[in-house]
Amino acid sequence: MSKKQKNSLLRIIIAAAIFAAGMFVPEGERFNAVWFVRLGIFLAAYFTVGWDILWRAVRNIAHGQVFDENFLMTIASVGAMVIGEYSEGVAVIIFYQVGELFQSVAVGKSRKNIADMIDINPEFANVERGGVISEVEPDEVEAGEIIVVKPGEKIPLDGEVIFGASGLNTAALTGESAPREVSVGDEVISGCININGLLKICVSRPYSDSTVAKILELVENSSESKAKTENFITRFARVYTPIVVIGALLLALIPPLFVGCWGDWVYRALTFLVVSCPCALVISVPLSYFGGIGGASRRGIMIKGANYLEALYGAKTFVFDKTGTLTEGSFEVSGIVPAGISENELLAYCAAAERFSNHPIARSIVEAAGENIPEAENSEEIAGYGVMAKVGGKTVCAGNIRLMDKVGAEHIEPDCTGTVVHTAIDGRYAGYIVISDKIKSGAADTVSALKSSGAKTVMLTGDRKATAEAAAKEVGIDECIAELLPDGKVKKVEELYEAKPAKSALVYVGDGMNDAPSLARADVGIAMGGLGSDAAIEAADIVLMNDNVNNIYTAVKIARKTHRIVMENIVFALGVKVLVLALTAFGLGNMWAAVFADVGVSVIAIINAMRAMKN
């Protein structure tokens, strides 16, 4: 608790004690000695706990703030005393202050929880300058300088490891608990914690451009984009208070003209004033979204604003990019079809020829062959065809169909999906190897979970149709649109955007590499694997810091849970308030019920809102 909160708590305790003492004094006849003692005790309690409310009420009314809650509470409590309800007048103020205190502590706590969750900001950097290591602020280090990170320290800046090996804890950034192993030559990202080995890192960019700075900026700015519900509630609050206050005035003035009993009606009107504060509503909505965004960030899901979380709830169309989103984006040998030689021989010859190529497909063949690769010489890459090399005195050609035609090898037509590499040895066809991109684990589960919640799923890709359709079938996607050129993707997104059900949102999930326009066009753009990719962090509305495809559905679940909490709070708070107002108007309510409708509801709504943070 802050000093201000402790102070407030102390005042509440003292006032409550005085108030309790006052309750023991018998009411006595009006204006006799005992009555004055009792009044004196109540007034002492009242001023102890409520002087600041009275002061603010006076000061704010001077500023023209008519519907200020301090002012309303003052009228309600003073009014109650004037009509002789001393204990209630004091109790209203005490409970109001208890509620305010609780609210302040709860909000402060959730704010701190969320700040801790994204506690990735490095405090210092150990920079090596002229052989001396000194501790400086991270933003004083320039690109190209060498920093030293000891075990247990946070990596302060992005860079490349030039000495040492260690495991890195990336949990604060990605939500993943498995450490990431790094050694010389690996890129490391600021915000990770070095677990066990000393690392020397050559800084690649200054602090202001670092991953940590980008993420912090994203999180900081997330409060600027408010959800529609939040804006609606604040607008509602602006009319709610005046309406209830006017209701109170009418209640105090009109019915007594016909039925008398001024005291009763004034009491009911004062009760209205207590209920007129819109706090519970106004605070619980942003707190829920704030909690939802905070809870998501702990799992490596960065959301740029409450409006996106809200839109994600109403998403009915999910458009996926294929490579790197639903698939790993790395290639793997998935089939070997030899002709006249054994599978192993085919793989070995092909790998030998492809050995010196840097193409990802060539790398995957070399990887599949493992140690079993013969020496090759005179290796030559023929752009648009493939490679040619001498392996054990034989001429090996590996590449596409055109290469086979070129060397006159009679090839067979492969019946499969994926990328095909044909091989010819000394001009004779030796078979083909199929390379395919691996579907990410969890992709099928994610798609089926989205489909079962009534959403339409679409996959866009530039790949050839057979490959795309096979992948679409494997993950169970509804619609697959293949052979798209890069600008075709955004056009397709436009079409789907036009065709989406009314009032629903379209979500585009991509890896942020080439699909920035599509990410921007969608209602919600989700970028995968944002760690280390500035383009993705900038273009998307939601950034998944790791490559885990399951996080797409996790984000949807968080959005739904947050939405449910927001709705619960609105219905509950409004319901109780309306109920108490109705009861009061008919003389069935009292000020205690009104205090509950104001403060109690506020507290319950806050506790409920804080659930959004938990997973």
Partner 1 sequence: MKKSFKLIDLDCANCAAKMEAAINKLEGVKSATVSFMSQKLTIEADDDIFDEVVKKATECIKKVEPDCTVKI
60 binds partner 1 (CB under 8 A): yes
3 binds partner 1 (CB under 8 A): no
The least CB distance from residue 240 to partner 1, in Å, is 10
Of 39-47, 197-205, 221-229, 390-398: span binding partner 1 (CB under 8 A): 221-229
State which of residues 95, 290, 308, 385 lies at the interface with partner 1 (CB under 8 A). 290
* Residue with smaller CB distance to partner 1, 201 or 277: 277
- Tell me if 227 contacts partner 1 by CB under 8 A: no
Buried b (16+ CB within 10 A) or exposed e, 25-60: eeeeeeeeeebeebbebbbbbbebbbeebbebbeeb
Q: Is 121 in the site for partner 1 (CB under 8 A)?
A: no
Lookup result for tokens 């993950």:
475
Residue span binding partner 1 (CB under 8 A) among the ranges 54-62, 196-204, 396-404, 429-437: 54-62
For the bound state, the minimum distance from the C-beta of residue 505 to partner 1, rounded and expressed in Å, comes to 22
CB closer to partner 1 out of 221 and 344: 221
Strands (E) located in 426-485: 428-439, 456-460, 479-481
Rounded to whole angstroms, how far apart are CA atoms 422 and 307?
51
Select from 378, 385, 388 the least CA-distant residue to 353: 388
Indicate whether 577 belongs to the interface with partner 1 (CB under 8 A): no
DSSP, res 383: T
- 178-186, 233-241, 414-422, 550-558 -> range binding partner 1 (CB under 8 A): 233-241
CB 470 within 8 A of CB 441: no
Q: What is the DSSP string of 255-280?
A: HHHHH--HHHHHHHHHHHHHHT--HH
Taking the CA of residue 168 as centre, how many other CA atoms within 13 Å lie in the half-sphere pointing to its CB?
25
Q: What angle do CA 588, 589, 591 make, to 5 degrees?
A: 150
Q: According to the binding rule CB under 8 A, does residue 402 interact with partner 1?
A: no
Residue 590 tokens read as 């009292």
Q: Minimum CB separation from partner 1 for residue 282, in Å?
A: 4
CB nearer to partner 1: pick between 52 and 405: 52
Q: Which residue among 223, 330, 372, 453 contacts partner 1 (CB under 8 A)?
A: 223
Q: Which stretch binds partner 1 (CB under 8 A): 192-200, 262-270, 278-286, 529-537?
A: 278-286
Give the residue, chosen from 286, 300, 386, 418, that forms a contact with partner 1 under the rule CB under 8 A: 286
Q: Could you give the residue numbers annotated as active site?
A: 321
Please compute Rg for the chain using Cα positions: 34
If binding is defined by CB under 8 A, does position 224 make contact with partner 1? yes
Q: Give the SS3 label for residue 328.
A: strand
Of 161, 287, 362, 556, the one binding partner 1 (CB under 8 A) is: 287
Rule CB under 8 A: say whether 473 interacts with partner 1. Answer: no
Q: What is the DSSP letter of 302?
A: E
The single residue among 111, 150, 402, 465 that binds partner 1, judged by CB under 8 A, is 111
> What residues pair up with 181 in beta bridges, in sequence order?
167
- Identified binder of partner 1 from the candidate list 21, 47, 56, 374, rule CB under 8 A: 56
Q: Report the nearest approach of partner 1 to the CB of residue 301 (Å).
A: 18
282 near partner 1 (CB under 8 A): yes
283: contact with partner 1 by CB under 8 A: yes
Indicate which single residue of 137, 181, 209, 220 sits in contact with partner 1 (rule: CB under 8 A).
Answer: 220
Binding mask 83-102 toward partner 1 (x if CB under 8 A, else -) reads -----------------x--
**Residue 290 or residue 320: which is nearer to partner 1 going by CB?**
290
Pick one of 15, 213, 279, 604: the residue that binds partner 1 (CB under 8 A).
Answer: 279
Dist CA 1 CA 516 (whole Å) = 45
Rounded to a whole number of angstroms, the minimum distance from the CB of residue 283 to partner 1 is 4
The answer to whether the CB of 182 falls within 8 A of the CB of 143 is no
| CB atoms inside a 10 Å sphere around CB 395 | 15
The only residue of 104, 121, 448, 550 in contact with partner 1, by rule CB under 8 A? 104
Round to whole Å and give the CA distance between 39 and 25. 10
Report angle CA 428, 432, 434 to the nearest 5 degrees. Answer: 170
Could you say whether residue 470 binds partner 1 (CB under 8 A)?
Answer: no
The CA distances from residue 84 to 30, 92, 95, 212, in Å, are: 10, 14, 19, 61
**Which tokens in the block code for residue 240?**
């709610």
Using the contact rule CB under 8 A, the part of the chain among 33-41, 59-67, 313-321, 419-427 near partner 1 is 59-67
C-alpha span between 349 and 425 (Å, rounded) = 8
CB contact at 8 A, 131 and 184: no
Backbone angles phi, psi at 386, to 5 degrees: 155, -145
Q: Which residues bind partner 1 (CB under 8 A)?
A: 4, 56, 59-60, 63-65, 69, 100, 104, 107, 111, 220-221, 223-224, 226, 234, 237-238, 277-279, 282-283, 286-287, 290
